[in-house]
Every structure is written in structure tokens, then in C-alpha cells.
Amino acid sequence: MIRIKRRSPTDPKYSNSPGRPRTIEHQQSIIRPKVVLGNKEKKGMTMNFESFNLHPHIESGVRAFGYTEPTPIQIQAIPPILQNRDVMGQAQTGTGKTAAFVLPILQRLMDGPRKRIRALIIAPTRELAEQTHEAIGQLGRYTKLKSVTIYGGVNQNLQISKLRSGADIVVACPGRLIDLMDKGLIDLRRIEVLVLDEADRMFDMGFLPDIQNILKRLPVQRQTLLFAATMPDDVRDLAESILRNPVTVQVGDGVPVSTVSHAIYPVDPHLKTSLLMKILGCTDTASVLVFTRTKDRATRLAKQMKRSGFLVTALQGDLPQNKRQEALDGFRSGKYQVLVATDIAARGIDVSKISHVINYDMPDTVDAYTHRIGRTGRAARTGDAFTFVTRPDRAFVWSIENVLGEKLERRILANFDYTIPAPAAGKGSGRLRPSGKRPGLTKVPKETPARNAHSSSPASGARRGRKDLSQFPFLVDSPQMKSRRSHGMR
């Protein structure tokens, strides 16, 4: 089996800084509290979780994990939630927003009746629902509060049994939740808190009618919390219709996290697979997340990489739940070094040591690009986002550059033959099958991370394996972009 070159655990790009305290959900580096926090705020006084005056049993759960410092979204969101205010929160993936609503919910439920559903958290995918359920179990380990997950793809009898035995919090996906509501198998008449998590992705996945159906059947008098990584107009419209005088909290300015470096690789479609395996063979990585546009492509790509010796698995929506969980667990444990996934299936992936996100296919929107690359660059580490770009993707590259406020580095991989013609129509699947030595066993110049591009000398391009981009003229120039990111952020 081929093992991708691993980064050393002592590599500063891979490890936390010495002495840095652990924080919930492998959180980003701490930005000190202000009323509104962005990427340019100055640091203030340090906060800790004791500042929130949580119940001693909840504080014990926090301390049991060694967590000390809250993240910016928690600093902003927890106080108003504890005050029973509705909240609309915007923060990128990996910033600790799950704990930002879980901790106040646990605090609220410490008083009052038990074994009746008082809090409902709606998530777009099974993986995100399970992740939230696990966070509740970890942080509420000493509270004796019970959480139950409700989602499709598994037999509903076990879920029904857990509901009947008594639950305080339900974490659900919309489809299965509506099924149980229609059958009268779940009682939501006493809901006190509703959370819509990853609301922007629920819209992307077409869940708006389901959300509206659920909302009509919940108590009008409730606290409602809405969280998203991006805030398109349709999400804001929903927030305005269901939130009462909400407190708006935002971390960052809506652009991807500054700990991620971006680079694009122009390539013809039929060479994507061989280019991917070549890059993985000559780049130091921890865990790698590869995104494809379709479920079928994710499966086929993973199979082809596996035949070539990579430790790889696929995650896509057609897999049964046990297979999905097996893929995620294997990726987290290091059994698989590469996970090939679709956008929908990847929601809820919480793996702190993803060093690279590779867009094998371009995402459909800039927001989707933000969601994808938010899987790397976590926990004060830096990460790399590589994107394969074909001719039709040119306009989308300009859109990403406009959001980032900087031009993406163009890369051409040394010792890779970009001149191989596409297979003739009707011959094979149209995918180039690697020949000769297997990827990762051929000695090729190691890539220098994109982060160094801005400080390198002009001659350094050759050392990175960059070549003349004249063979890809559609990527040489792009329109003038607005600068939305400070140079100091890199």
C-alpha cells in the first residue's frame, strides 16, 4: 500500500503551538472578546468558561476535557443565549459554534422536568447530527441530560425506543423528523429551544419546505437560534421571519479562514486523477479531504486510487449509515489517509488534522468553496486548499479571488506530462489510468506550500515546480478584484 508522506508531529504546520490550551471542537486560535469580532480586532482581556457562570456539573464536563478558553463565537453567543435571547450567528466551520449553543442549552435544561423533549436541534446531515450529539454527551457528561439523534438511513425502531425511554434533547435531520411527527411518534409540544444549525447548507440541500413544515408544528413561544457559515439572502429572510429581536453575532468577515493557503492547478479534465495521485505522492500531508461533484465520481475515484495503492475511502450519500460511519471513523483514526467525498456527505466531518483539502471538481458556489476549505486550517494549524481548474471554471476562479481579495497562486507540477491526449470517444471510461511506477514511489521535487509564495524570490517558482502558464492562457489574467483581506492576515 502507498503511504502518503506524513508531516512530523513536531512540524509547526501540523501541531499546536507549545503551551496552547486545548479548546472545544479543536477550535481556532483565540481572538479576544469585543462586542463584534472580525479578523482585524485587537486583543483584549482573556476570558475563560468560568466567566459564563455555568452550572457546576457543566463546568466539570468542560474541565474534564482540559478546555479553558472560549472561542470568539462562544464569547459572543453564549451570554445572549443564556439571557433567553434569539440569536443569529455567523462563523466558519471549526470555530466552536456547536459548543456556543450546546452549553447554554445544557444550562437551561438543568432546571425543570426531565425526560421530556425541551430542546430541538436540526442539522442538515447525519454526520453533523451525530457530531452534535457527541458534543452534548461530552460536555453534559455530569448533567444526566439525555440526547437522542433522529435521521434516516437507519432503522427507526431504535430511535423510537430511545424517545420512549425519555429524552431531553433531540438532534434531528428534517426528513426523518417529519416522518416521526406525521406518525405521532415524537412529542414536540414542550420545545423551549430550537436550533437551526448550518442553515445555509440546509437551504442548499432543498430543506426549506421541510423546515417550514416543522416550524408550523412547534410552540410559538420558544427561543430560536440560527447558525450558518454564510448568510445568503434566503437565510436572512428566514431568520427575519422566525427570530424575535435577535442578537446578531459574527466572527470574521465572511471569507475563508486566514490559516488556509490557496493554490490552483490548471489541468484538462482527463488528467485530473493522475495529477491528484502525483501531487499526493510528492507532498507532505496529514489527512487529505478530496471533493468531487457527484456521488458516482467519488466512488470511482476512490476505487481507482485504492487500486493504485492509496489508503483511501469514499463518503457519499448513497452509502448506508454503518458504511458512512466506518469511513469517517477510519479517516479520523488514520486507517485511511485520503477521504473522497461529496459536499453533502462531508457536512459534519470534524477531523482536526486535515492538512489538505483538494477540490477535484469545482464547487457550485463560492459559499460551497468556503465550506469545503473550512475543513482544514483548524486549531491554530495552517492548511492548504488545492483546486483543479479546467477552462469552463475560469469565471468561478475570478469569483473566489474577489472574495479572498487576492490572486490565487497558479501552479504547474514539475515532471507531470500535461500533453497526454484525452482517450478517444468510446474507448474506456474516459479516465486516464496511471501506468508505470505507482504514485508516491517516483522521486519528484517536493512542492513548497502556497503560503511561501508571497515571500519567495522570483526564482523560487522553479523550485516549486512552476512552469510557463502559456499552455493555460485562460488562467493567466483575471479582472481587477476588490481587496477584502488584509495583507497582515496571511
For the record, the C-alpha cell of 243 comes out as 427570530
pLDDT confidence band for 476 (50 / 70 / 90):
low
Residue 383: partners with Cβ closer than 8 Å, 6 or more residues away:
259, 260, 261, 354, 355, 356, 357, 373, 376, 377
pLDDT confidence band for 255 (50 / 70 / 90):
low
pLDDT confidence band for 38 (50 / 70 / 90):
very low
Give residue-wise pLDDT tens across range 60-103.
999 987 778 898 899 999 999 999 999 999 887 677 889 999 99
Best-predicted range by mean pLDDT among 2-11, 193-202, 316-325? 193-202
Amino acid at residue number 194: L
Domain segments of the chain as ranges: 49-250, 260-489
pLDDT of residue 159: 96
CATH match of 260-489 with 3.40.50.300 = yes
Residues 191-218 have a mean pLDDT of 91
Q: Is the pLDDT of residue 285 over 80?
A: yes
More confident residue, 83 or 460: 83
Amino acid at residue number 318: D
Average pLDDT for the chain: 78
Residue 209: partners with Cβ closer than 8 Å, 6 or more residues away:
none
pTM: 0.62
Cell 487576492 belongs to residue: 406
pLDDT of residue 10: 40
Best-predicted range by mean pLDDT among 253-262, 289-298, 451-460? 289-298
State the Cα–Cα distance between residues 335 and 103, nearest whole angstrom: 32
Q: Are 128 and 202 in contact (CB under 8 A)?
A: no
Best-predicted range by mean pLDDT among 32-36, 359-363, 394-398? 359-363
Q: Is the pLDDT of residue 316 over 60?
A: yes
pLDDT of residue 482: 46
State the Cα–Cα distance between residues 196 and 365, nearest whole angstrom: 21
Residues 126-138 have a mean pLDDT of 92
Q: Is the pLDDT of residue 23 over 80?
A: no
pLDDT of residue 373: 79
Tell me if 49-250 shares its fold with 260-489. Answer: yes
Q: Is the pLDDT of residue 426 over 60?
A: no
What is 49-250's CATH number? 3.40.50.300
**If DSSP states are collapsed to H, E and C, what string results for the chain?**
CECCCECCCCCCCCCCCCCCCCCCCCCCCCCCCCCCECCCCCCCCCCCHHHHCCCHHHHHHHHHCCCCCCCHHHHHHHHHHHCCCCEEEECCCCCCHHHHHHHHHHHHHCCCCCCCCCEEEECCCHHHHHHHHHHHHHHCCCCCCCEEEECCCCCHHHHHHHHHCCCCEEEECHHHHHHHHHCCCCCCCCCCEEEECCHHHHHHCCCHHHHHHHHCCCCCCCEEEEEECCCCHHHHHHHHHHCCCCEEEEECCCCCCCCEEEEEEECCHHHHHHHHHHHHHCCCECEEEEECCCHHHHHHHHHHHHHCCECEEEECCCCCHHHHHHHHHHHHHCCCCEEEECHHHHCCCCCCCEEEEEECCCCCCHHHHHHHHCCCCCCCCCEEEEEEECHHHHHHHHHHHHHHCCCCEECCCCCCCCCCCCCCCCCCCCCCCCCCCCCCCCCCCCCCCHHHHHHCCCCHHHHCCCCCHHHCHHHCCCCCCCCCCCHHHC
Best-predicted range by mean pLDDT among 91-95, 115-119, 425-429? 115-119
Give residue-wise pLDDT tens across range 363-422.
888 777 877 877 665 544 578 889 999 988 888 888 888 877 778 889 999 889 999 998
Q: Are 268 and 412 in contact (CB under 8 A)?
A: no
pLDDT confidence band for 142 (50 / 70 / 90):
very high
Cell 485587537 belongs to residue: 42
